[in-house]
Structure 1
């Protein structure tokens, strides 16, 4: 019985996984929303150049189930759009292996 308890305690998951893997000089973005944009795709623009689609996860599930998007480190200007409307605009700084959570309305 004691062995079973020790085994279960030793199986604890370590997350977020994105911080433990990948290239050294990369940072990660995770997009979350409590209600409106959860489970939808948004258009993300970095520094008015790089554009990609990102899936937004519900805020309470973000610790385990979110898709992280790798970006280079440093100061970034980020715009997030949905339906042609800007819903988030900010300048951020991300460091090596950091996962920055972007909370949308």
Structure 2
């Protein structure tokens, strides 16, 4: 009879032991260390491709999005965070030439004329 009571007591306590054991879960380490640039223009350069140079490195082409009062949609270009020098030109004419600071996961809008 004592063995029977021990078995019942153990069976009642055993699920509590299992509840304390959890399977390993993948840990989330935080946000990616990247920022984004979005190039917009009200009229003139909307829909055109402009040339962008970051920190005087090799230039690349980007698509300019028309600036609207509603939600802006367009291609966001991923860049490193921190202080960055951005130069935007179109057919040899400099449209934007500034040093900016962008932080993690920030979408910085570069507004062209």
TM-score between the two structures when normalised by the length of structure 2: 0.69
CA RMSD of aligned residues (A): 1.5
Q: Which runs of 5+ in 1 are unaligned?
A: 1-22
Aligned to 2:24: none
Please tell me whether residue 25 in structure 1 is matched to residue 19 in structure 2: no
- Larger strand share, 1 or 2: 1
Tell me whether 1:38 sits opposite 2:46 in the alignment.
Answer: yes
When the two structures are aligned, how many residues end up with a matched partner?
83
Q: TM-score, normalised by structure 1?
A: 0.74
Name which structure has the greater RCO, CA cutoff 8 Å, separation 6+: 1
Superposed, which structure 2 residues align to 1:92-103 within 5 Å? Answer: 92-103=100-111
SS at match of 2:51: strand
Of structures 1 and 2, the larger Rg is shown by 2
Asked if residue 68 in structure 1 is aligned to residue 76 in structure 2, the reply is yes
Deviating 4+ runs (over 4 angstroms): none
